[in-house]
Chains A and B, each alone.
Chain A
Amino acid sequence: MSSLRFFILSLTLSLCFAFQSDELLLDDDEFGLEGGNQQPPRSDPHFPSPSTPAPRKRFTESSSSDSKIQFSLHHAFGDSDFSDAGNFSARLKTWSHGGQTLTKLRFSRNPLTEEEQKKFQELLQTDDFYRIRLPSNVLSPPGRDYIISSVKARCLPGEGLEEHFVIHTEGVNILAVNYGAPGACPYPRQLKRPARWSFKSHTILKNSEQAPRTPIFAEDVLGGEEGEGELVKPVERSFWAKYWMYLIPLGLIVMNAITQAMNMAEEQVGGQGGAPGQQQPGSAGQRGSNAGVRRR
């Protein structure tokens, strides 16, 4: 069964490989999704040991520009020593201009042994760190140094154990690995035991992005006037904005005066027809605005 799967896998890979030639560089980000229980394609669990750094070619029919390489993931529980945890396999693409890039990352994790499960339980209890490391150079591991990343163990348990790798590469070098749970890990971290002791792993390869180019305009759109406009703006405060503190009291005075004037005018009107009008009940409506009348 295992051999059959291996055959299919290699077939699909090789098929995939046949179309590789016109593949874009953008292909770098690739999702590898494999269950932790799955056996790694290689039966040798010690691979790759640091003493065998050479990349292994697996496809004899491939052009010389491509090769398949493997590098291993080590893990540690709290402050324990690092031990093998799984293997990454990727395709190393050599470009005509000499650059090399990693593509098609796949990951297979070794199942956790009884002892490791016990250690992990301890980590969960003490809310300690689960640590992983990768070589900083995939061709000659460990390169200059190992890339270390840690996560609080309590972040990982979900259905099973869920992990998410973002591996930042530069050619054959690994700069950093963002390791953690695929989703949120809210604080305070609750103690939760995984239902299954198998890892569900997501891996992404990431390369550097190009910075956006500085916009270049023709000379006539240069920012000279821009600045001046910026300066002139505050001067162009509206009349209202400048003098509101005087205008409001002025308005009040004016309104007051108008009311007064109207009162006076009505006084006159009222005065003319005043004496008889007082007995007329309808006149109150006409002088609705006159407060003095209403007060009576």
Chain B
Amino acid sequence: MVWESSLPGSKASKSILYIPKNLKADKDDLILVYGKGSLNAVSGVDGEVLWKKDFSGESIEVSHIIQSSDVIYVTGFVDSSKISVYGLNAKNGELLENNHAALPFGTFGELLSVSGDMFVVLDEMRSKIVIVHLRNGEISYNQKHISDLTKDLAGQAVILPSRLPGMFALNINSYVLLIKVTNQGELVLVDKVNNGAAVSDSLSISEDEHAFAFVHYGDNKIHLSVKNVNDWNHDLLKESIVIDHQKGKIDKIFVNNYVRTDRSHGFRALMVMEDHSLLLVQQGEIVWSREDGLASVVDVTTSELPVQKEGVSVAKVEQNLFEWLKGHMLKLKGTLMIASPDDLAAIQALRLRSSEKSKMTRDHNGFRKLLIVLTRAGKVFALHTGDGRVVWSILLPSLHKSEACENPVGLHIYQWQVPHHHALDENPSVLVVGQCGPSLSTPAVLSFIDAYTGMELKSLSPAHTAAQVIPLPHTDSTEQRLHLIIDDKQHAYLYPRTPEAIDILKHEFSNVYWYSVDADNGVIRGHALKSNCIQEAVDEYCFDFRDLWSVVFPSESEKIIATMTRKSNEVVHTQAKVMTDYDVMYKYISKNLLFVANAAPKAAGEIGTVIPEEAWLVIYILDTVTGRILHRMTHHGCQGPVHAVFSENWVVYHYFNLRAHRYEMSVVEIYDQSRADNKDVWRFVLGKHNLTSPVSSYSRPEVIAKSQSYFFTHSVKAIEVTSTAKGITSKQLLIGTIGDQVLALDKRFLDPRRTVNPSQAEKEDGIIPLTDSLPIIPQSYITHALKVEGLRGIVTVPAKLESTSLVFAYGVDLFFTQIAPSRTYDSLTEDFSYALLLLTIVALVAAIFVTWVLSERKDLQDKWR
């Protein structure tokens, strides 16, 4: 690296980098950078900022920078109807001139540069093309109706953002118009392509030749053409490719040239698909493709694999006899060491495919699962946990752009149906919840997908929104889980929409509670169902609800920055916790607990912006049925970001301590005192205990909270806790560190009972002597030497084997592993010597036999005596 320089600025704006043609390192050329509201001229030699012009005071939205010999023109729109041009001296940034031109109409979209000083833009009705001419800082414009160019097209036009010399592309309906702009500013329609998809930027192939690529669809194929900008009738390249439908349309295309063996120009095209995958196309073939959509995982759920059926044998997996023979030949070659590298690779692939862990059936230990991930592009992938391969993928048709739904986004993925009773003949399914657009007031989209085949079973586009989705702890007779979808108009909608579901809900009607967090206003509210909706159209699946409780945090001193609840499917093995003095504490285990972390409003920003006296962190543990505050605690001189994890009766959270200049992690454990009397054995014998009585949130809770804080070296991106099938295995915290690794930290380190000098009994109980900081043991990184680039979240899933928990970490990279926090105590380790065990048994049997023979012989001797 020669130099690096950072440019400060005051306001956020789009950034433009203008590099003069043929920039050389030793030549003192200006590099113009517009960003954060100001234009910076940076020296190409050492990166020094030579001058700076601040535009943050003006209301201009800078869109282009043009450099003529010693004047730099900066142009952009003011309020979409006024074009403004600033002429600056290239030497010192001095303002030379400032011209404005007000258009009699507003504009739509961005200004597109056609040639050096010519720009096009659409008017706000999207029916006229405005050609803007900047000659030496003078603005002139003329306009042309699209209907003058082509008669038969009507609709909303969009200028495609492809940079072509003297040309631009316009998209109307499904047509792409290629329009040439003459030097006089006249528009000439060059071509009209039906089903056009994307147009690349131009690429200069020789001194005055520019090529560009465009694609259009036709007869289930994609046609790629590369043309010369000036010579329209001649195709440089024409290819057609078949692309998987699940990749959707082509979003963008980039073209690159090379010299063929016959010295002619060859082109290869990189296509960005609608599902964010990349394809490289050359000579009419897909050379490689990457599922880059997997880099933007939004939500994850898991599904069991199919149960192994009787009829499915290995022969079916091995396809046919020939394949089988070929496989064995390869293996034979491998053993005889006469295999070529290709053969070796094939053998490796074969081994991997037939290996135990990548089978498509359920295994005894529950290690094999399907990870079903929803990506930002609206594509759902099923990944096999054995080798990470994509089992199926579907670009959801319901999350497709349409008239009714302009910018659909997938939000969450839920387990919809998990068959246990009919596991052999019914497939599990998942529910994808999305909405049409980024705001909460756009209607919801629901899609149901078969988890084995990846088929969309059905999709719904209800009129209501989906502000909150609540999976209820009830399933109907087909094991579909009941879900309540809360909209933004105080209605709750029940899914599935079956009479049976209504019956189940009616039965539990008064026991359904939920809460909502309004972080902007600092209010948390609790809700319960009231009655069917009162509206014109009768909908028996729609319910009104009422507010049961509210907690209003004072806006001048607290701002909600994090909330966390327990996982709804978490299993707790035992409520009792035996202390070292053979005393019993009862964990306060309620599914309805909510952890809330509030920071001082001043300290809600970045670390270092406030002094410790102005920063504090208040944490709450709320009961979400009654709104009771069970625990409330203030950390002075601390600030967020807060990452928290809630499990069983404890919550662990991570924050920054400004006084100690270090990150800290705190633990709060809640114990139930109302059950504390149940210690006497006689009470149990006589049945005078209250352990079997149902717990009600309406009883006044008698809880005590124990807490302790520890320093922690790293800043954290995500925290999760291991989860196991029965909850017996001790827990580990999984911490996604700033270095994009996952660190496993034993929960015992975050025990509020740790003391400086634990007694012998306490030591035996596993209590670690108190230290002020949490140890980071290099060996306990479960990602080992790997990095999960851009780590965003960690998901843990219990395996069937109690000791093991499956961990999936996602970011730009995906990482999956299985961990055993207390080691695999319920299965033999891999290095267990079966041979020795067998030998011992054989020796034992032999010894028994020998001794038996000896004893018989002695008996006989005795008898003969």
Report A-chain residues with C-beta under 8 Å of the C-beta of B861. Answer: 267
Report A-chain residues with C-beta under 8 Å of the C-beta of B521. Answer: 144-145
Closest chain-A Cβ to B296's Cβ sits at a distance in Å of: 36
**Chain A contact residues, majority secondary structure:** mixed
Cβ of A208 and Cβ of B775 under 8 Å apart?
no
Subset of 13 A-B contacts with CB under 8 Å? A129-B528, A148-B627, A155-B699, A176-B629, A178-B629, A187-B695, A187-B696, A217-B771, A223-B772, A231-B777, A253-B847, A292-B855, A295-B859
Closest chain-A Cβ to B108's Cβ sits at a distance in Å of: 41
Tell me whether B497 is interfacial, beta carbon within 8 Å. Answer: no
Closest chain-A Cβ to B477's Cβ sits at a distance in Å of: 26
Tell me whether B254 is interfacial, beta carbon within 8 Å. Answer: no
Closest chain-B Cβ to A294's Cβ sits at a distance in Å of: 11
Within 8 A of A (CB), among B777-791: 777, 779
Closest chain-B Cβ to A237's Cβ sits at a distance in Å of: 11
Closest chain-B Cβ to A266's Cβ sits at a distance in Å of: 10
Tell me whether A226 is interfacial, beta carbon within 8 Å. Answer: yes
User: Interface code A255-282, partner B: CB below 8 Å = 1, 0 otherwise?
Assistant: 0110010011001000000110010000
Cβ of A175 and Cβ of B862 under 8 Å apart?
no
Report A-chain residues with C-beta under 8 Å of the C-beta of B772. Answer: 214-217, 222-223
Which of B528, B700, B709, B710 meets A184, CB within 8 Å? B700
Cβ of A211 and Cβ of B550 under 8 Å apart?
no
Tell me whether B660 is interfacial, beta carbon within 8 Å. Answer: yes
Q: Interface residues of A toward B: which range?
A: 35 or more
Cβ of A185 and Cβ of B696 under 8 Å apart?
yes
Tell me whether B573 is interfacial, beta carbon within 8 Å. Answer: no
Report A-chain residues with C-beta under 8 Å of the C-beta of B619. Answer: 211
Cβ of A296 and Cβ of B709 under 8 Å apart?
no
Which of A170, A181, A226, A293 meets B771, CB within 8 Å? A226
Cβ of A151 and Cβ of B626 under 8 Å apart?
yes
Cβ of B709 and Cβ of A180 under 8 Å apart?
no
Tell me whether A239 is interfacial, beta carbon within 8 Å. Answer: no
The answer for the CA separation of A250 and B859 in the assembled complex, in Å, is 26
Report B-chain residues with C-beta under 8 Å of the C-beta of A143. Answer: 552
Cβ of B629 and Cβ of A145 under 8 Å apart?
no
Report B-chain residues with C-beta under 8 Å of the C-beta of A22. Answer: none
Within 8 A of A (CB), among B591-627: 618-619, 622, 626-627
Given A178-B626, A230-B777, are A170 and B557 neighbors across the interface (CB < 8 Å)? Answer: yes
Cβ of B837 and Cβ of A245 under 8 Å apart?
yes
Given A79-B546, A256-B851, are A187 and B632 neighbors across the interface (CB < 8 Å)? Answer: no
Tell me whether B664 is interfacial, beta carbon within 8 Å. Answer: yes
The answer for the CA separation of A171 and B777 in the assembled complex, in Å, is 44
Cβ of A263 and Cβ of B777 under 8 Å apart?
no
Closest chain-A Cβ to B264's Cβ sits at a distance in Å of: 64
- Spot the interface stretch: B188-196, B633-641, B725-733: B633-641
Cβ of B775 and Cβ of A224 under 8 Å apart?
yes
Tell me whether A234 is interfacial, beta carbon within 8 Å. Answer: yes
Which of A173, A209, A217, A275 meets B554, CB within 8 Å? A173
Within 8 A of B (CB), among A149-182: 149-152, 155, 164, 166, 168, 170-171, 173-176, 178-182
Given A178-B627, A180-B626, A224-B775, are A215 and B698 neighbors across the interface (CB < 8 Å)? Answer: no
Cβ of A227 and Cβ of B626 under 8 Å apart?
no
Where the two chains meet, the residues of B that have a C-beta atom closer than 8 Å to any C-beta of A are 510, 521, 523, 526, 528, 530, 546-555, 557-558, 618-619, 622, 626-629, 632-636, 657, 660, 664, 666, 674, 693-696, 698-700, 707-711, 746, 756, 768-777, 779, 823, 836-837, 840-841, 843-844, 847-848, 851, 854-855, 858-859, 861-862, 865
Cβ of B549 and Cβ of A148 under 8 Å apart?
yes
Cβ of A150 and Cβ of B548 under 8 Å apart?
yes
Report B-chain residues with C-beta under 8 Å of the C-beta of A174. Answer: 552
Report B-chain residues with C-beta under 8 Å of the C-beta of A264. Answer: 858
Report B-chain residues with C-beta under 8 Å of the C-beta of A164. Answer: 700
Which of B629, B710, B862 meets A296, CB within 8 Å? B862
User: Interface code A188-226, partner B: CB below 8 Å = 1, 0 otherwise?
Assistant: 110000000000000000101111111111000111101
Given A211-B633, A214-B710, A226-B769, are A175 and B698 neighbors across the interface (CB < 8 Å)? Answer: no
Tell me whether A241 is interfacial, beta carbon within 8 Å. Answer: no
Report A-chain residues with C-beta under 8 Å of the C-beta of B848. Answer: 256
Q: Which residue of chain A has its CB nearest to the CB of B770?
A: A215
Tell me whether A147 is interfacial, beta carbon within 8 Å. Answer: yes
The answer for the CA separation of A214 and B658 in the assembled complex, in Å, is 13
Report A-chain residues with C-beta under 8 Å of the C-beta of B699. Answer: 155, 180-181, 183-186
Report B-chain residues with C-beta under 8 Å of the C-beta of A171. Answer: 554, 557
Cβ of A175 and Cβ of B554 under 8 Å apart?
yes
Pairs of residues from A and B, 9 with the lowest C-beta to C-beta distance, nearest first: A227-B775, A223-B771, A173-B554, A184-B699, A185-B698, A178-B628, A187-B696, A136-B552, A214-B709
Cβ of A208 and Cβ of B510 under 8 Å apart?
no
Closest chain-A Cβ to B812's Cβ sits at a distance in Å of: 30
The answer for the CA separation of A92 and B766 in the assembled complex, in Å, is 48
